[in-house]
Amino acid sequence: MTHDLTTGKPLRDIWQFAVPVLFGLLLQQVYSLVDTAIVGHALGVMALGGVGATGSVNFLVIGFCGGLCTGMAIPLAQAFGAGDYRQLRRYVAGCVWLGIAMSALLLALTLPTTRALLKLMGTPEEQMGYAYDYIFIIFIGIPATILYNMGACVLRSLGDSKSPVWFLAIASVINIVLDLLTVCVLGMGVAGAAIATVVSQLGSGVLCVWYMRKHFEVLRMEKDDWRLRKAEVLRLLGMGVPVGLQFSITAIGSVMLQSAVNSLGAVCVSGVAVASKIYMLLCCPFDALGSTMATYAGQNVGAKKMDRVNTGILTSSIIGSVYSVVILGVMFLWSRQISLLFVDASETVILDQARQMLLINMVFYIPLTLVNVVRFTVQGMGFSKFAILAGVCEMIGRSVVAFFLVPYFGYTAVCFASPVAWILADLFLVPAYLYCAKTLRSLFEKNAQMM
């Protein structure tokens, strides 16, 4: 079922759209959390650290896939908001062809270079085998990642944020069962955890495609819709590639930071791995608000309703700020207990490091709220290239900390790397949003005068 976000109360529209997206993101994190918990308890701290050491590399590539799909869905949302369903179908067809091409390209780039990249990052030798076995299989599953992300983004661009949640729920059950089977029963180690993730994500992607074909009349494709057109391809790439690159550029800073963490030893790598898994779960509300604002802004720009975009960005920022304060209090009390999901109570150093990183990061969650809300709003408004510059700001922040502060201040500096990155990104994004809003208002007023 489609959902028009250009009418009604913005708070209600944002809330109704964001909550299913949040549940979907939480279910995605179930993949990762179950993998980590089973690996940590069944295979030990070294295996846990090996899987954790792949996080930044994973984000570098898989983040690009997700960003590419998110960006390419923006023209779909704008076409839907404008009521141009023929153009919408042509964009969907372009997404299919580009998804196939990007899958082939990324496979060719990542699979031959995986081990070299892990070595370049200084992955501890005792964790190298675990890291390689895990991330190589994740990279093999890139087509499945693109299939799900593309399907989910198309559904969300039409206002349907609920259906992908159900498909992820099914995939999460598959993932848990396969994790237990491959790791605990068949003894396949970290490779088994990676296989479980890829298979479950493939299942959710297939379900998205099946549901779209069955239930969305506006997506009933005609033969002419499948023709590859230069205008649609350039528009999709112009929106998708900058967003994908923004994720990858941000991830480059994370790769550099991970290299600095690796230099501190295997125990620090494991501490960061535990904190990162919990952090990814806690940040789902920010990601949900960002995804919501991309669709919300896209539809309302298509309908030429900039006042609703302004109200939406304020509403989402308030929601994210309230959550930031609440979750800081919760984690101050129980962060150590939650970390016990991944390591035994005897690993006191790892538990202390995870708590330190989590609490320092959460003090700066309001700046993180703005990063997600403003960046995705700007993308939804059609200014995807600004996403690259925001990613550059984050990369610079993490890189400066990695190169200049970690050698002197050690693990404490690592904990401040992301907050520095978020603040730098905000210093760019807030003025960028004001510029984009002013530009669109002038364009809409000029078009109205010409009519």
Residue 373's pLDDT band, with cuts at 50, 70 and 90, is very high
Give the pLDDT confidence score for residue 99 in this predicted structure: 87
As a whole number of angstroms, the distance between CA 291 and CA 310 comes to: 16
As a whole number of angstroms, the distance between CA 168 and CA 25 comes to: 9
> What average pLDDT does the segment 56-83 reach?
79
- 447, 301 contact by CB (below 8 A): no
Give alpha helix (H) positions in 181-305: 189-215, 230-262, 266-282, 284-302
> What average pLDDT does the segment 267-285 reach?
83
Q: Considering only 25-39, 78-92, 182-196, 252-266, which range has the smallest mean pLDDT?
A: 25-39
Give the pLDDT confidence score for residue 76 in this predicted structure: 83
Query: Above 90 in pLDDT, residue 45?
Result: no
Output the CA angle 289-295-301, nearest 5 degrees.
120
Give the pLDDT confidence score for residue 416 in this predicted structure: 95
As a whole number of angstroms, the distance between CA 6 and CA 84 comes to: 15
Query: Above 80 in pLDDT, residue 441?
Result: yes
- 17, 292 contact by CB (below 8 A): yes
Query: Above 60 in pLDDT, residue 1?
Result: no
Nearest to 197 by CA among 48, 345, 29, 370: 29
> What average pLDDT does the segment 379-390 reach?
82
Q: For the whole prediction, is pTM greater than 0.85?
A: no
Residue 423's pLDDT band, with cuts at 50, 70 and 90, is very high
pLDDT digits (tens, 9 = 90+) for 211-233: 888 877 777 877 887 887 888 88
Query: Above 80 in pLDDT, residue 30?
Result: no
- 60, 254 contact by CB (below 8 A): yes
Q: Would you give the distance in Å from CA 48 to the centre of its chain?
A: 22
Averaged confidence pLDDT in the chain: 84
**Which residues, other chains included, contact 329 with Cβ-Cβ below 8 Å and sequence gap of 6+?**
none
As a whole number of angstroms, the distance between CA 145 and CA 150 comes to: 8
Query: Above 60 in pLDDT, residue 2?
Result: no
Which has more pLDDT, 39 or 287?
287
CA distances from 369 to 170, 171, 337 (A): 29, 28, 25
Query: Above 70 in pLDDT, residue 361?
Result: yes
> What share of the chain has pLDDT > 70, as a percent?
95
